[in-house]
Structure 1
Amino acid sequence: MAAEPSGVESAGQKLQFAPFCSALEAGFWHQLTQRKLDDYRLDESPRDIRGYYYNGDPVGLPTRLTLEFSAFDVNGQTPAKCCPAFGTLYNTNTLEAFKSCDKKALLESAAKEIWEAIQSGSCAEDPSALCKFILLTFADLKKYRYFYWFCFPALCFPEAVPFHQPPVALEKSFSSKQIEALQGAYDGLCQENGGTAVPYFLVRYSEEAVLVSLLKNWSSFFKDQKKVTVGVYDPCTLSQHPGWPLRNLLALVACKWGELVDTVEVLCFRDRTLQGSRSIQHSIIFQVKLPQLSVSAGVPKTVGWEKNQRGAMGPRMVNLSECMDPKRLAESSVDLNLKLMRWRLVPSLDLDKVVSTKCLLLGAGTLGCNVARTLMGWGVRHITFVDNATISYSNPVRQPLYEFEDCLGGGKAKAQAAVERLKKIFPGVNAEGHTLSIPMPGHPVNSSEATVAQARRDVAQLEALISSHHVVFLLMDTRESRWLPTVIAASQRKLIVNAALGFDTFVVMRHGLKLQKNAGVDSAPTSAGSTPASECCSSSSSSSSSSAGSMAVHGASLFSNIPGHKLGCYFCNDVVAPGDSTRDRTLDQQCTVSRPGLAMIAGALAVELMVSILQHPEGGYAIASSSDDRMNEPPTSLGLVPHQIRGFLSRFDNVLPASLAFDKCTACSPVVLDHYEREGFEFLSKVFNSSHSFLEDLTGLTLLHQETQAAEIWDMSDDESV
């Protein structure tokens, strides 16, 4: 259909039209299947449906009329920059009824409606009457084979329509000023029409201005002019031929105004976007002399049935037996936006790396729910939740994976309920839930042998989960609950993304990704290919209460150009070890009290940070972007790869600080990792059962505090002696 019609050499003498090529998407057949089973059953009554066509395709594509899953909602929205076309569906119950249906009668009936609308002038008021189509179908729901025949009825003149002036590109007939004026005038007309593309319009122009109007304003717009210009929203891409929608417009002009005009100038309006730049210069313009169309002669001859794939008059068949499973349809639909993003906006986007990433979410609360939804939006298929809480009555309004019924009877386990909801949202997701308590510093586990044994099993299970995932999100309520996964992930060289909330502040950060155990002390991999895909990135967030002051204490003040293996973790900005943060605290101190939108913002940014890291060739070893890099060339197709994103909702501001790893960090410092890797659970049990002084003594924080206090006393003595 994309090729020039036959007889191109004589096309300068006779007007020819590019016929429509039907484009019925799988979603349309899925909807037809559901309606046949649930609503239509054996009812063969005609049904109103809606399609659309587009006038911005590049050269070479056929003139298409598209029907998708929304075709049965005749009052629904038409895609942007597309023109709606309304039609009638005739769905038969048997293949024999489909074959024996009187196609000639259907076409003649549709032609009669169009002709009556032309004679009465109602199609000038409602031009959609000129764009009717017919779709005859039979759905074999046992084998998911669909037979169909598409028709776009077009009235014919009794003789060929000659050119008065052959088609030329608009840029050869209009000046750049006129083209710009035409574009603006048409856009304004569409806005007056509710934002939908206008299929037919009138044009009047001079060297200084271009005016457009609706068909119904013909008399007042043209007055006594003998030469008129009509415009058509033209889906054809051929340089010498208009598309099918022009046919019935010319029939209307010949019937209603043919005696008033000598020639008709036709503007085929084509609106392309190439490499981000809009252009209508490739539109074509020509003049024709219309033969007379006698009203008394009755309905003109009509054509419109589409040819099949072999180029003969006959129906088509599509076999969707392999893709009509609703789960497969949902899977293809989930990926559609991502593919469009790559095709049109970010060609270098590596979607496979994102979709194949296995994400472990520690915490299924407000942050966990929002992170999970954003991960699904990015097409991530493997999501695992870890949480030991149940759903309470305060949760559903803030945590979008839960409902009121989940709170009844003491509440469902969050991890399992979150998995159930994800699978209801998208059955193709591979989701797991683990009700697991994470042992924490300052929370003793030595009260009994059973307690110790359970803690040992919990640690082993957490180690196995972190080992089997690529990215770990720390989304828990307390600081100390983040310590153990930070240590394990640092030891396993896994990516950590951390998000934490204040009342109107948040922090999202990636942990520094430690070098491979066999790598040099000061050398990090220079590409993702030098480390396994599951270990090439890492991110985390430090507590929103961490301050620049605490960073200055251990010399890890803000720097730029820090490579990923030298970045700090969640605990690197703190100079005290984690302990029991919930003991002897009031309700507001035990619960995360924050502005309702904060978790959605932080959760989304945590996922977007992960995706940006995945797109960087060095993954988690990428140099941290800072606020100063916002005006520089971004390191990935998606932009910057910061260490931290600290947000302040009260002033709607974000900053991108970066800080070095702290050699006395209670979680990721070499001494802590060395003890964990050598002693395993025995070392961890000492941390759980001891006060925070154990870790502080081990890492040298205690000595640092003593030296700091001594320096302060010395300074006071100096002051007093003055």
Structure 2
Amino acid sequence: MATASNEVHHPVDPGISKLQFAPFSSALDAGFWHELTQKKLNEYRLDETPKVIKGYYYNGDPLGLPARLTLEFSAFDMNASIPARCCPAFGTLYNTNTFETFKSCDKKSLLEKEANEIWESIKSGAALENPMLLNRFLLLTFAIQALQKAYDELCQKEGVTALPYFLIKYHDNSVVISLLKKWDGFFQDQGGKVTVGVYDPCNLSHYPGWPLRNFLILAAHKWGSILQSVEVICFRDRTMQGVRDITHSIIFEIKLPERVLGPGCPKAVGWEKNPKGGMGPRMVNLSECMDPKRLAESSVDLNLKLMCWRLVPTLDLEKIVSAKCLLLGAGTLGCSVARTLMGWGVRKITFVDNAKISYSNPVRQPLYEFEDCLSGGKPKALAAADRLQKIFPGVSSEGYNMSIPMPGHPVNFSEVTMAQARKDVAKLEALIDAHDVVFLLMDTRESRWLPAVIAASKRKLVINAALGFDTFVVMRHGLKKPKQQESGDSCLNNASGSSDLLGSSLFSNIPGYKLGCYFCNDVVAPGDSTRDRTLDQQCTVSRPGLAMIAGALAVELMVSVLQHPEGGYAVASSSDDRMNEPPTSLGLVPHQIRGFLSRFDNVLPVSLAFDKCTACSMKVLDQYEREGFNFLAKVFNSSHSFLEDLTGLTLLHQETQAAEIWDMSDDETV
């Protein structure tokens, strides 16, 4: 019960340890305050009667977080659904109109009232029928939103965006605000009570900012002889997750000195300390600030830091900025991904592509211009890297004009061809090894196979983006466990090793190392998808905006993964998680994003790794790691049956065909 002690003492054996309980930590979402504001202004108004509200607590937070009782925007809707794996808790909201009423509330009596409600449900047996009655809570609030509204109205009347100091009084269950110069007569009906607001830039929860200091000198000088104390509201106007929030404001009372200040100027303080800790002058070198490149870097950094300061204080920018990204493909997707990466401040971007810029490219691929198409066209990878340097000199960009060997595209025609393929494979391995994130942004399915295998072997995060005409898929590949942790279960199938995950038809709570790759949903090995196609048929034909959408989502998925404490091993979010509390400050961390532009709709499917996958299965990775290029050459020079035989897909096809024949024979006998 709410009134019970948090310790239980054994009456007989004093050696038995005490039973202790971890109390709830209240977690009031910004959406709750926003909804309360709307309710107060449009529905409750001056009504102070108690209101029933609903919260929930979650059994699945990471280690170290306190047990939280959460209230969000849906707290006022008794019929609203509760997020998955959460227990509801009902309570009472006491919202007062004035701070005086808030302070005068008998908080002990309110707590005892809620405790009696719990006790009555225990005695009556109602708690047996509805155990949620055991977890009642109360919330006592002061309607500071009225202060916000009055402050905004005064600022608008005075034609200013903010007032540094203002007078406050509570009158007829409302808040009245006035200018500092209207002091005389303003507090006549307050019984000697004086409340002053200070526009406070300080972020410390228990201390006011510097602007209050000189105001107190003013108050002591002007009114010290008639005032004993002043109530101060440090008004803190913040924006949290896109919602205005003044609940960080602090209220306290200050006792003024008994004697009036003398005519002389009080002692001045305020010199900042230099790097040595002394009060000497601080030297500032402005030479770097005059360098345009330095100015550009500072501006880019400021854009990102504003996100932290204003919206997402927990954002770890260093994890994003320091990520070294390898873009395989410098076409429509590659250009969009590169621009979004630069927007996030990523400093290391490398392109790999073997195509040249054609006349149709610049209108869809924003890193190229018409002049890049002349004289046969510049190599895309080199031109893209050069353009990034021109857009933002702070980025380190490189381009490699090279081909990626592919299944179904033989390389055994000559020693020269084989040597070049070996060289390309070695270079690709070195590039993947030197980067943290690999983006697969190529035109064909088979061109993604080799980097998918290498990245899986090297335990690199892979982000894949592929386009249709009006559909796209963006996904992260499952990140294999380090070899010393594998224990033989890195790639699971749907029949063995994953039975613990199949209890849900939605495959919920799949960790990153059990997620599938781009090839896991296929039951055929990659082959030459461009054979017997004309040149125009080999081009990807998509709606013009699709690549920008998919490219941006690919980068945002990477950022969300990097912000998760477990990185690439993060549990995959699905469409069902959209109403749940997100795992990171940026939101969900899905496995796949499949978009349908014709419906302007996205879904977030999750799929398991496939033990017969032709790219990430252990059979393929073991062969690659043991034989290296010799194994890859067999894949390049053989038909798709080689990989299917190796992984067991051939046998799976045969078993499926046999089952179909058996079903047909059964039908014929019926």
Please tell me the TM-score bracket, short chain as reference. 0.5 to 0.7
SS for the counterpart of 2:409 is coil
Residue of structure 1 equivalent to 2:476: 510
SS for the counterpart of 2:532 is coil
Contact 2:201 2:236 in 1 (8 A): no
Deviations along 1:132-174, one digit per CA (max 9) or x if unpaired, are xxxxxxxxxxxxxxxxxxxxxxxxxxxxxxxxxxxxxx96799
Residue of structure 1 equivalent to 2:149: 184
- Which of the numbers 414, 423, 430 marks the counterpart of 1:464? 430
Bigger relative contact order, structure 1 or 2, given CA contacts below 8 A and separation 6+?
A: 1
Residue of structure 2 equivalent to 1:593: 541
Which has the larger Rg?
Answer: 1
1:391 aligned onto 2:357? yes
Residue of structure 1 equivalent to 2:394: 428
- Which of the numbers 515, 518, 525 marks the counterpart of 1:570? 518
Q: CA deviation at 1:467?
A: 1.1
> How far apart, in 1, do the equivalents of 2:143 and 2:662 lie?
82
> How far apart, in 1, do the equivalents of 2:395 and 2:346 lie?
8
SS for the counterpart of 1:592 is coil
Residue of structure 1 equivalent to 2:420: 454
Residue of structure 2 equivalent to 1:701: 649
| AA aligned opposite 1:397 | V
Residue of structure 2 equivalent to 1:487: 453
- Which of the numbers 356, 364, 371 marks the counterpart of 2:337? 371
- Which of the numbers 594, 615, 619 marks the counterpart of 1:667? 615
Residue of structure 1 equivalent to 2:285: 320
SS for the counterpart of 1:559 is coil
| AA aligned opposite 1:359 | C
Q: CA deviation at 1:268?
A: 11
Alpha-carbon distance change, 283 to 334 in structure 1, aligned in 2, over 3 angstroms: farther
Deviations along 1:506-550, one digit per CA (max 9) or x if unpaired, are 2111112223333342578xxxxxxxxxxxxx9xxxxxxxxxxxx
| AA aligned opposite 2:626 | R
> How far apart, in 2, do the equivalents of 1:593 and 1:269 lie?
61
> How far apart, in 2, do the equivalents of 1:587 and 1:192 lie?
67
Contact 1:360 1:385 in 2 (8 A): yes
Contact 2:200 2:236 in 1 (8 A): no
Alpha-carbon distance change, 690 to 336 in structure 1, aligned in 2, over 3 angstroms: same
1:23-422 equivalent positions in 2, closer than 5 A: 180=145, 183-184=148-149, 187=152, 207=172, 271-273=235-237, 276-278=245-247, 319-321=284-286, 323-324=288-289, 325-422=291-388
1:564-643 equivalent positions in 2, closer than 5 A: 564-585=512-533, 589-643=537-591
1:692 aligned onto 2:640? yes
SS for the counterpart of 2:587 is coil
| AA aligned opposite 2:246 | S
| AA aligned opposite 1:277 | I
SS for the counterpart of 1:518 is helix
Name the count of aligned residue pairs: 497
Q: CA deviation at 1:492?
A: 1.7
Q: CA deviation at 1:708?
A: 1.5
Residue of structure 2 equivalent to 1:141: none
Contact 2:328 2:441 in 1 (8 A): yes
> How far apart, in 2, do the equivalents of 1:239 and 1:673 lie?
60
Alpha-carbon distance change, 459 to 192 in structure 1, aligned in 2, over 3 angstroms: farther
Unpaired segments ≥5 residues, structure 2: 1-97, 104-140, 183-195, 216-230, 254-268, 274-280, 492-501
Alpha-carbon distance change, 450 to 187 in structure 1, aligned in 2, over 3 angstroms: same
Residue of structure 2 equivalent to 1:712: 660
Alpha-carbon distance change, 717 to 278 in structure 1, aligned in 2, over 3 angstroms: same
1:655 aligned onto 2:627? no
SS for the counterpart of 2:374 is helix
Q: CA deviation at 1:637?
A: 3.5
> How far apart, in 2, do the equivalents of 1:559 and 1:694 lie?
31
Residue of structure 2 equivalent to 1:150: none
Contact 1:234 1:268 in 2 (8 A): no
Q: CA deviation at 1:386?
A: 0.5
Contact 1:504 1:648 in 2 (8 A): yes
> How far apart, in 1, do the equivalents of 2:661 and 2:160 lie?
73
Contact 2:472 2:594 in 1 (8 A): yes
Alpha-carbon distance change, 388 to 713 in structure 1, aligned in 2, over 3 angstroms: same
Q: CA deviation at 1:232?
A: 11
Unpaired segments ≥5 residues, structure 1: 1-169, 219-229, 246-266, 285-305, 311-315, 525-537, 539-554
Q: CA deviation at 1:500?
A: 1.1
Residue of structure 2 equivalent to 1:133: none
> How far apart, in 2, do the equivalents of 1:452 and 1:669 lie?
26
> How far apart, in 1, do the equivalents of 2:156 and 2:536 lie?
51
| AA aligned opposite 2:236 | R
Contact 1:557 1:659 in 2 (8 A): no
Contact 1:439 1:458 in 2 (8 A): yes
Deviations along 1:335-370, one digit per CA (max 9) or x if unpaired, are 223334334544443332222221111011121112
> How far apart, in 2, do the equivalents of 1:515 and 1:483 lie?
20
SS for the counterpart of 2:473 is strand
Deviations along 1:402-440, one digit per CA (max 9) or x if unpaired, are 223222232221111111121122212111110111111
1:673-688 equivalent positions in 2, closer than 5 A: 673-688=621-636
Alpha-carbon distance change, 192 to 394 in structure 1, aligned in 2, over 3 angstroms: farther
> How far apart, in 2, do the equivalents of 1:627 and 1:497 lie?
19
Residue of structure 2 equivalent to 1:117: none
Contact 1:271 1:283 in 2 (8 A): no
Alpha-carbon distance change, 183 to 470 in structure 1, aligned in 2, over 3 angstroms: closer
Q: Give TM-score scaled by structure 2 length.
A: 0.61
Q: CA deviation at 1:666?
A: 1.3
> How far apart, in 1, do the equivalents of 2:283 and 2:175 lie?
46
> How far apart, in 1, do the equivalents of 2:154 and 2:535 lie?
59
Alpha-carbon distance change, 523 to 340 in structure 1, aligned in 2, over 3 angstroms: farther
Residue of structure 2 equivalent to 1:441: 407
Contact 1:178 1:207 in 2 (8 A): no
Alpha-carbon distance change, 186 to 521 in structure 1, aligned in 2, over 3 angstroms: same
| AA aligned opposite 2:538 | Q
Alpha-carbon distance change, 614 to 241 in structure 1, aligned in 2, over 3 angstroms: closer
Q: CA deviation at 1:474?
A: 0.5
Q: Structure 1 stretch 454-463 or stretch 674-683: which is displaced more?
A: 674-683
> How far apart, in 1, do the equivalents of 2:314 and 2:102 lie?
38
Contact 1:515 1:521 in 2 (8 A): no
Contact 2:471 2:595 in 1 (8 A): yes
Residue of structure 2 equivalent to 1:543: none
Contact 2:200 2:209 in 1 (8 A): no
| AA aligned opposite 1:584 | D
Contact 1:179 1:280 in 2 (8 A): no
Aligned identity (percent) is 75
Q: Give TM-score scaled by structure 1 length.
A: 0.57
Alpha-carbon distance change, 588 to 171 in structure 1, aligned in 2, over 3 angstroms: farther
Alpha-carbon distance change, 307 to 614 in structure 1, aligned in 2, over 3 angstroms: closer
